[in-house]
Structure 1
Amino acid sequence: MTTLIKAHGSENQFFLLDQTQLTQPLTNQELTALAIKLCSPVTGILNGADGLLVINHATATDCLGQMRVINADGSEAKMCGNGLRTVSRYLAEKYDQTTFKVETLAASLQVHQAPDLAPHVPAFSVQIAPLSFAAAALPFHYHDLTTMMDARIPEFIADQRFTAVAVPNPHLISFVDHIEPAQLGQLGERLNAANPYFPEGVNVSFAEIRDTNRLFVRTYERGVGFTNACGTGMSATSLVFAQLYPKYFDSQRDVTVFNPGGLVKTHIDLATPLTESRIHLIGNATFTDKVTLDEVALHQADLRDAHSQSTGEESAYQEFVASVTV
């Protein structure tokens, strides 16, 4: 039998699959089929998820493991900040280590166990890198712009400014007085369908500045749609916030980023050039359920005999969320 873990970071929901425990790893085609079926709220289990996190042996000798991110639609992302925290917890417990590196498609990233956010709410800090503002890195095309930093793009939304950054997932960020979900959803859908601006799609985030080092961020995620939280989105938004709004940024303190699923903290070390800045994302790594399934059925994406058992951790996380002030 195989055990999968249902997990979340700020209610960004995932299934974790440790392929090193399998007799035969799944092929790329099998992983895509499994992610699409498992993550669907209709065909999946436990109300589906935003993605499937695949844990493999690392190819980099200085890493404890490798993480692949298969989105709910079957596409693959370079990185996932919320997901990396849950994978980090899994590897930490598996190998009894608290500080190590995890290999992702884009880079080997430093992670470490952080103090619990609350009783029974374990937390991890993960590095977010590499960073780029170059049009070719996202990629984006808009007239002759080589970077898009706090720019008015009337073709997107009139009277709103936008910044594009890859961390390494591509993000389009706009700071607003009040987030209009319908407006965010329309722009997210448009820029993730065939469009002349972002040929590979883009994660779109709107952010409200609530106070010094306090943000609220909502993200329309490429390959998923609206999510409760997007780790790389909150990280990218924090970096842009620190650069554009120094009046509200205290470099000596973490930034608290609220989201529909709770909150995270980011630590931003600004540098010149800006791409040399350091971002660390700190937040929960909650395991809500363990799912057992026959390995043959896993290869066939046959979930009919899957059995799940709650860990009881979600109630502790919800108590923590209820205790914080947005």
Structure 2
Amino acid sequence: MKIQLKKCHGSNNDFILIDEISNSYDFTDKDRENLAIALCDRNSRLGADGILFVMFSDICDAKMRIFNADGSEASMCGNGLRCAGRYLCELLQKDELIVETLKANLKVQKAEYIYNQIPTYQVEISPVLFQLDQLPMMLPKEKLFNEKVTELSQDLLFSAVAVPNPHLISFVDETIIRSNIQKTISEYVNGPNDLFPNGVNVSFVKFIQEGRIYVRTFERGVGFTNACGTAMSASSLVSCLLHLNEIEEEIEVFTNGGKVRCIVHKMNDDYKIDLIGNATFLYEAEIEVELYTPEDFSIVAKTESLEQNEYEQLERHAKEVVDSILF
């Protein structure tokens, strides 16, 4: 069969987007899993961190499902939602809409440019859950905030939050970020272990100054990524709870893939985060694929976009900031 796709990225967290609204595809979940494993393989002619499937919704403007490169399905993906949100806004000719995701219905809207003329979208990140059974994390306590977890480190302090993807966050200095400690911890908690039966996203965060942080994330099902939208959002939230940044104020979040803005909102005892950043389209392609052997796909046609040229200016700006922090 032939499949139309679009390659896109948010903060260089890259995705393949497949439109099930405009096309008569009839995928099973096993098909989606197999397509993700085959098409996202970095050794293939496509390669990505995951596949965004956009589809009809009975309760919202549209629905997004995200399958990671290993075939697992994620609860949500902030960078992916920006890309899917832009695609859906243009498809449905709207400047804002509500997108159904696995655990929440989330608002997406066109936003002011984050840098030069880069297409920019704002997405809602919620719900925010602190209870460890929501990640889940197997510790004999209800919550974990800025505390030691001796099974992982004798020195580092960790916070756990689901947004709704599960995140383990530690604020560290540049020496720790440059070391292999994050890799060791991340691989442990995403392999056979007694703490996280379903794995967890692990972020090490460096506070730069008020209103600025740097985040490096090991994403479950993917590995180290250029950026993870929900991780940047969760890290911004924790920075506010640590009184490093202010609620309701813009926070610039730098990653190896660029930068976004986050704004943390508090409503009574609940929180939500606005994630604001690029949604860049790289190319459109048509592939020929057999669903039983998707690894043998071939690219029939491909049309490049010029949007990446504009994004690379933001990338250079972010790299200068990151290099000044780490090196």
Q: Are residues 54 and 182 of structure 1, via their aligned partners in 2, closer, same or farther at CA, if it must alter by over 3 Å?
A: same
Counterpart residue identity of residue 252, structure 2 = T
Give the TM-score of the pair, scaled to structure 1: 0.93
Match of 1:77 among 74, 77, 90: 74
Please list the CA deviations of residues 210-230 of structure 1 after superposition, one character each: whole Å capped at 9, or x if unmatched: 000100000000000000000
Q: Which residue matches 1:217?
A: 215
Structure 1: gaps spanning 5 or more residues: none
Determine whether 1:177 maps to 2:178: no
Counterpart residue identity of residue 166, structure 1 = A
For the residues of structure 2 that align with 1:32 and 1:297, how far apart are their CA atoms? Answer: 14
Q: Which residue matches 1:243?
A: 241
Q: Could you tell me whether the CA contact under 8 Å between 1:238 and 1:268 is conserved in 2?
A: yes
Q: Could you tell me whether the CA contact under 8 Å between 1:132 and 1:168 is conserved in 2?
A: yes
Match of 1:129 among 117, 126, 142: 126
Q: Are residues 15 and 299 of structure 1, via their aligned partners in 2, closer, same or farther at CA, if it must alter by over 3 Å?
A: farther
Q: Are residues 70 and 34 of structure 1, via their aligned partners in 2, closer, same or farther at CA, if it must alter by over 3 Å?
A: same
Q: Are residues 317 and 205 of structure 1, via their aligned partners in 2, closer, same or farther at CA, if it must alter by over 3 Å?
A: same
1:271, distance to aligned residue in structure 2 (A): 4.5
Q: Which residue matches 2:263?
A: 267
In structure 1, the residue corresponding to 2:123 is in which secondary structure?
A: strand
Q: Could you tell me whether the CA contact under 8 Å between 1:243 and 1:270 is conserved in 2?
A: no
For the residues of structure 2 that align with 1:239 and 1:292, how far apart are their CA atoms? Answer: 40
Q: Which residue matches 2:195?
A: 197
Please list the CA deviations of residues 298-321 of structure 1 after superposition, one character each: whole Å capped at 9, or x if unmatched: 675242244322101111100122
For the residues of structure 2 that align with 1:226 and 1:11, how far apart are their CA atoms? Answer: 12
1:95, distance to aligned residue in structure 2 (A): 1.0
For the residues of structure 2 that align with 1:72 and 1:102, how far apart are their CA atoms? Answer: 22
Match of 1:140 among 134, 137, 144: 137
Please list the CA deviations of residues 8-36 of structure 1 after superposition, one character each: whole Å capped at 9, or x if unmatched: 00000100001122223211111111110
1:186, distance to aligned residue in structure 2 (A): 1.0
Counterpart residue identity of residue 86, structure 2 = R
Q: Could you tell me whether the CA contact under 8 Å between 2:170 and 2:205 is conserved in 1?
A: yes
Q: Are residues 299 and 20 of structure 1, via their aligned partners in 2, closer, same or farther at CA, if it must alter by over 3 Å?
A: farther
Q: Over aligned residue pairs, what C-alpha RMSD do you find?
A: 1.6
Q: Which residue matches 2:30?
A: 29
For the residues of structure 2 that align with 1:210 and 1:128, how far apart are their CA atoms? Answer: 23
Counterpart residue identity of residue 24, structure 1 = Y
Determine whether 1:160 maps to 2:161: no
Structure 2: gaps spanning 5 or more residues: 322-327
Give the TM-score of the pair, scaled to structure 2: 0.93
Aligned residues: 316
